[in-house]
Amino acid sequence: MPLVVVDVMLKPEISDPQGQAVLGALSRLGHQGVRAVRQGKRFELEVSGPVDESAIHEIADTLLANPVIEDFIVHIHER
Amino acid sequence: MTAPNPRPTGDDLANVRVGVVTFPGSLDDADAARAVRLAGGSPVMLWHGTHDLGGVDAVILPGGFSYGDYLRAGAIASFSPIMSEVIDAAKRGVPVLGICNGFQVLCESGLLPGALTRNAHLHFRNRDQRLRIEARTAWTNDFAEGAEIVVPVKNGEGRYVAAAADLDAVEAEGRVLARYVGGNPNGSSRDIAGVTDPTGRIVGLMPHPEHAVEELTGPSTDGLRFFTSILASLVGAGAGAAT
């Protein structure tokens, strides 16, 4: 059964205060080598039968991501 | 943007039916209905899981955490059965006010530009907030131009964002409904607290006018004017005529 992974990230121009908070925590933990953190969402969709890429794109574009503020990337894993 | 109307009578107002949608997780539906009633209109409770708008003259999408804010605030609600009817009605010219979570729903539905995201400081902010009303709409006709009001604001994901070109367009077209004055509670772009569509009928606002309608419980009664505005607009447009 194919697994479709959709990664959703805030667009680069939208500030990400959650990522900044993670970066602040890393700094307090002594990890000085990390320069920036962006936080996103990962969706895993189990698909029955062959993957309809245009349908997956529509799912991501209409529901999983808000294209006003977010970008998404689709990864298809045949298993 | 509607012309001023002659002062309507109480009977005219009481015949105006304003729907208030309850989603799972709505919190402020009862306060919104109460505000409609205090303004002299007749609230009609609407249910998210139906396609029935009950023939209302206007719709309010209330504050709260519809569907637990899962996915994104307002995202799941924007695909609920009642919203397909609200979107159709809005496109026919039925006035719609989204407050807080309702504003998020209107943005997720694509009826208003932009989006509401996590507050810049990551804290839930709950305080009395000064606003400047900047646009005359069906929901703000009763305010003097540039009026400053105080109503509660309470949100964790109230930071208004949009592409710079969209922000420029909203400002150039006079579609900033209200701006935060005396401190921006959530980091919203250009201090924007609410926006309107080009017709002045579809309006979203992050702060809560429905919590500022009585001196006993609110910081002011400034919020009541949103509700008297829409009733007067609708009476002027012929709604609520005795049938």
Residues from chain B that touch A17, judged by Cβ atoms under 8 A, are 118-122, 187
Q: pTM of the entire structure?
A: 0.93
Tell me whether residues B122 and A66 touch, CB distance under 8 A: no
| Whether pLDDT at B242 is above 80 | no
Residues from chain A that touch B117, judged by Cβ atoms under 8 A, are 10, 14, 69
**Domain A3-77 -> CATH class:** alpha beta
**pLDDT value at residue A1:** 84
- Average pLDDT for chain B: 95
Lowest mean pLDDT among B3-12, B198-207, B223-232: B3-12
Report the residue count for chain B.
243
At B2, is the pLDDT very low, low, confident or very high (cuts 50, 70, 90)? Answer: low
Q: Where are the domains of chain A?
A: 3-77
**pLDDT value at residue B243:** 43
Tens digit of each residue's pLDDT (9 = 90 or more) over B122-166 = 999 999 999 999 999 999 999 998 999 999 999 999 999 999 999
B210 is catalytic: yes
Among the options B48, B85, B107, B208, which is catalytic?
Answer: B208
**pLDDT value at residue B26:** 98
ipTM of the complex in this document: 0.89
- Average pLDDT for chain A: 95
Per-residue pLDDT of chain A (79 residues; tens, 9 = 90+): 899 999 999 999 999 999 999 999 999 999 999 999 999 999 999 999 899 999 999 999 999 999 999 999 999 998 7
Look at residues B89, B79, B105 and name the one whose alpha carbon lies nearest to residue B57.
Answer: B89
Q: What is the CA radius of gyration of chain B?
A: 16
Tell me whether residues B115 and A69 touch, CB distance under 8 A: yes
Which tokens in the block code for residue B200?
């002045």
Tell me whether residues A68 and B107 touch, CB distance under 8 A: yes
Chain A contact probe: residue of B71, B78, B83 with most A CBs at under 10 A: B71
Give the pLDDT mean for B49-68: 97
**Alpha-carbon gap: A30 to the closest alpha carbon of chain B (Å):** 23
Q: Domain B10-116+126-236: give its CATH code.
A: 3.40.50.880
C-alpha distances (whole Å) from B54 to each of A46, B59, B89, B230 are 39, 11, 12, 18
